[in-house]
Amino acid sequence: MSQSIVSEIGDVGSEATARHGAVTRWLVRLPSGLFGIYAGTMAFGVYFAMYAFRKPFAAASFDGITFADLDFKIVLVIAQVVGYALAKLIGIKIIAELPANRRILGILAQIGVAELALLGFALISPPWNAACLFVDGLALGMVWGMVFGFVEGRRQSELIAAILCASFILSSGVVKSVGEWVLLRGVSPFWMPAATGALFAPMLFICLAGLAALPEPNAQDVAERVRRVPIDGVGRAALLRRYAAGLVSLILLYILLTALRDFRDNFSAEIWQEVGLGAQAEIFVWTELPVSLVVLGALAALTVFRSNRAALAANFLLMALGLVLAGGASLGFALHGLGPVAWMVLLGTGLYLAYTPFNGILFDRLVASGGSPANAGFFIYVADAFGYGGTVALLLARNLLGLHLDWTHFLVEVSLAASGLGLGLLGFAWAYFDRRLRS
């Protein structure tokens, strides 16, 4: 990028900053590392709080309720995932084109609708209240893209995104533990999700205010990471044509990873019951905390790469290590070399090491390596639109194809198969992008 363009963007950024408040001016003066920690913490808080409106229902089992020969818990998971996936499909256009000044209002609107849907879940009798979880998923599916819009295109993007990605690892366990705590206080499983969401509303508002104060990427950010702009339909079609084969391979891998991650996440309560640890509400937190710390450290370490090409290669290597770890953990558990807690921790660590780069860091570096103004949110939502279909397919396969395995052994078998297939898809994708970006 020429010096004149950088200077022009810097001038525009300075004018915008002058219109912001004292917090924004203070953030502009912060050292790079401290700015990254602040931005990551605010993004973490917003997405952490969002999970309290999405995942607490998974702490309940809803035993004895069925619909169309399916356990009611599976019906609820499918309903929410279908809504979430539909939101991701819609988000391909909306997130790609969304102006920065609409993000905060968009997040508030989505979470407000989600809480209303959870109230409906409590008030409407089962199994018809499953429709409310469809609305809940539909309402929340674009929160990630709006939050990540504040993160991408900065020199500190890996650090910020690492902290942000830790939110959906740790928060899932925390909100389910809080949900279990609410259940133990005598609250109905149908009222528990709305009650748990309300407990996290103050955290949401505080962190949204902190996120809104962030200044736009400055001239140096733009020089190193490419200017991030909304993309219209013509631009989206051009990007898809440019990277078609590599994206298909990555999307297939993401379908596998999403299905495995969601299965482990949504049915961890049942798995802990099968291995004799179901009475410990805190088990959800203590098994996800080490996963969060390892993944946070690994993703933050990618900040050291100034070269976008080298950082992209490091992302692929990290994902490969994650797949090997996930498969190795399940093999170790199957051979009785690992206990259930160690298995769930190592499996979760491997899955998230392979899964989390898809949520921004991988595509942020891909945009920067390509050199053309764009945004990573578009690529994230293309992958997400297909990824959650894998969750539905996996659940239906277990229940409708005569796979009479308990939750634990089903997860072991599928994770072993997916790890091997995933490594093949990842290898093809890296070979493609390495060749494509050299040309």
**Distance from the Cα of residue 353 to its chain's centroid:** 12
Strand, coil or helix: 67 = strand
What is the torsion angle, in degrees rounded to the nearest 10, for the CA atoms of residue 337, residue 298, residue 100 and residue 238? -80
Per-residue pLDDT tens listing for the chain (439 residues)? 334 433 433 443 444 444 458 888 899 899 988 999 999 999 999 999 999 999 999 888 887 887 877 889 889 988 998 999 899 999 989 998 888 889 999 999 999 999 999 999 999 999 899 999 999 999 999 999 999 889 888 888 888 888 888 887 788 888 988 998 999 999 999 999 999 999 999 999 999 999 999 998 888 888 888 777 788 888 888 888 888 899 999 999 999 999 898 888 878 888 888 988 866 767 777 888 899 889 888 988 888 888 889 999 999 999 999 999 999 999 999 999 999 999 999 999 999 999 999 987 898 888 888 877 677 888 888 888 888 878 778 877 776 665 566 889 889 999 999 999 999 999 999 999 989 888 6
Q: Which CATH code is given to the segment(s) 3-438?
A: 1.20.1250.20
* Euclidean distance between CA atoms 306 and 298, whole angstroms: 16
pTM exceeds 0.85, yes or no? no
pLDDT at site 369: 86
Summarize the chain as % helix, strand, coil (round to 5): 80, 0, 20
For 372, the enclosing helix (H) or strand (E) is none
Closest by Cα among 115, 154, 166 to 136: 115
pLDDT at site 331: 97
CA angle 108–234–316, rounded 5-degree value = 70
H-helix segments, 124-232: 130-140, 143-148, 157-184, 192-199, 201-212, 219-225
* Euclidean distance between CA atoms 439 and 433, whole angstroms: 10
- Amino acid (1-letter code) at residue 198: A
* Euclidean distance between CA atoms 412 and 326, whole angstroms: 10
pLDDT at site 5: 34
**What is the pairing mode between strands 70-71 and 66-67?**
antiparallel
State both tokens at 63.
């035993």
Peptide bond into 127 cis (omega under 30): yes
For 70, the enclosing helix (H) or strand (E) is strand 70-71
* Euclidean distance between CA atoms 419 and 235, whole angstroms: 34
Which residues lie closer than 8 Å to 10 by C-beta, 6 or more apart? 218, 219
pLDDT at site 286: 81
Give CA separation, 32 vs 147, 200, 307, 353, in Å.
Answer: 20, 29, 18, 25
